[in-house]
Structure formats: structure tokens, C-alpha cells
A = this chain, B = another copy of it.
Amino acid sequence: MSSWVNGYPADGVAVHDRGLAYGDGLFETIRVVDGSPRYAERHLRRLVHGCQRLSIPCEPDLVRSELQAFARSLGDGVAKLVLTRGAGQRGYGSPDPCHPTRLLLAAPAPAYPSENADEGVALYPCTTRLAEQPLLAGLKHLNRLEQVLARAEWQDRRYAEGLMCDTSGRVIEGVFSNLFMVIDDRLTTASLARCGVAGIMRERILDIAGQQGWQVEQEDIDLGQLWHASEVFCCNSQYGIWPVRSLQSHAWPVGPMTLKLQSLIAEPDIP
């Protein structure tokens, strides 16, 4: 499938690109439907925020217009948008001037079984822990070896996702999803102050909860709280919401809050 580099069709990136050298960049994985990027403004806002935190120059209007054109040419599928600090010479110091690299990569729409959303999924208990690094927490940056190691822990297709805790044992997220729980009737998701990715669907769910006037918490969660949750679900911008049916010997029903949110995220998003 097609790929663009800095707005033009290309299938290669310079060997000196700092995205390759150091994972010095950010990415967004964007579902494209009928030629239109879904949640485009949320993705762009997160990208701009990440660029600010990493001091990577970003031209959001240029990125947006390229994304829209790429999505039109793609029609249906997934557009992966990568922004790196660009080419540099040897050494960690930033190139000056800095010319970021913009990549757009096409992939087919994900083919997840519909049972994942309807009946829920089983989580694999990953032993790979997330290191605590507040300077990078929340960002969808290109340093993703922890996710690579975690995803390599299981091949059994009965597990649709894996649970990741941080090095202190707190429950954080899935390998490619965020996680929500209902604890004592309150919607709860992990604080991402130390690690984890602040997902687009996580943000959308927090916004919806706010609009509905629900109490919602972002806090430190231990495994004991997870075991006692009445509902658990995972989410991302590709598949929406999957109820979590089981983890190790624990099982959860597909609960009313999960079903309600599955219905609410199907409604149009605020830009």
C-alpha cells in the first residue's frame, strides 16, 4: 500500500533520520473511512502537544492538509502518521536548523472479530512492565520497545490484548489500548502521570463522561482494585470499546456502563 514522505509518494526514509536513530518522533494511527480521517482533530491536537513536549517543530496546517489528501486517496483503511525530528548527524544534540520528517503510511482496515466488541475479550497478563518516565508519559512517541516485548509474550489468539502494569505494579493499560474500570459505580482509568499512552478514545470517553455528568477518575489503580471492578473494558481509536471478559482467573460481565459507552461513542464526536 502507498506511503508518502513529506507530502510526496516515497517508500524510503533517509538513513540519518532521527526517527530511526533514536525513536526521536511521534506517531498517530488514524482510521480512515470513506476518504475521511476519523477523529482527525483529536489526533492532530495530540501530535501538536507531543511536539511541544519534545520540542519538535510542527506545522499542523500542513500535516492536516497532507493527512486529508492521503485519506482521500486511501478511501478506507488506516493512515499511520509519523513525525520525526528529521535527519541529523551523529550525536544526540538536535540538528539546527531542524527539518522534521512527515510520513504517511497506508494499511488495511483492521479485521477484528465482531465478538470482541459484543462478547468481550480475554487479556493476557504481560510480565513486561512499563518504566516510569514522567517526561515521556502520555506521549505516543516512537520509543516502543516495551510494547514490542509485551506483545511478544503471547501468540495464543484467544488473547486479544495484554494487560500492562508499571514497574511499581500499578495497572496502566493494554499493549495497544487504554483500560477503564467501573469501581464502586465510578468510571476509572489509570493516571498517566508516569507512563502510558494518552489514547484518543480514552480522551473521547473522558469527554463523554464529563458531558453526561458522570463522576470519572484518573488515578493510581492496583491489581486488587481491578479484581474488584464490576466492569472492565479496553478502548482505542481503531476498534472503539471491547469489554474485558477475563484476566487470569477473574471474569467480568459485559456491564451497563460499557454498553452505554459503546453506544455513545457511535454518535458524532465534537471536533
Binding site for B on A (CB under 8 A): 3, 5, 10-24, 27, 29, 54-55, 78, 80, 82, 84-85, 89-94, 103, 105, 107, 128-129, 131-133, 135-136, 141-152, 167, 175-176, 195
Contact = CB atoms under 8 A, between A and B. Distances in A.
A91 B175 CA distance: 10
Contacts of A145: 22-24, 54, 136, 141-143
Contacts of A143: 22-23, 143-145
Given A15-B3, A132-B131, A143-B23, A94 B10 contact: no
B20 A17 contact: yes
Contacts of A142: 20-23, 145
Given A93-B152, A141-B145, A144-B92, A167 B54 contact: no
5 contacts: A3-B16, A19-B20, A22-B145, A93-B151, A132-B167
A21 B140 CA distance: 11
